[in-house]
Amino acid sequence: MRRFVARVNFSCTLIGKRPQSLVILSNGININKIVLINSQGQIISQETKPMLTTKIDIRNLKKGIYFVLFHTEGCVQSEKLIVE
């Protein structure tokens, strides 16, 4: 079974772990865009109008390090996602 590990320091965002999807809860904060990129900087997934709860399909990700970018008003927060 693959394991997904995410560390979050962004106070208004929580990332949960599920085998098939990455669940992002915005807790009422206006997130304008969520981007998932690989370690080479290639965009894997992009949500341009995320909902309060957004699911990103990650079941086809290969082992490696990815980054989740949260775009808010005037700020971009990045968090590391490790697929083992």
Task: Give mean pLDDT, residues 3-30.
Answer: 56
pLDDT score, position 21: 72
Rounded Cα gap, residues 43 and 77, in angstroms: 16
Check residues 66 and 8 and name the one with the higher pLDDT: 66
Q: Name which residue leads in pLDDT, 10 or 48.
A: 48
How confident is the model over 17-44, as a mean pLDDT?
81
pTM over 0.85: no
What CATH architecture is 4-83?
Answer: Sandwich (2.60)
Alpha helices for 1-84 (secondary structure H): none
Identify the band that residue 5 occupies on the pLDDT scale cut at 50, 70 and 90.
Answer: very low
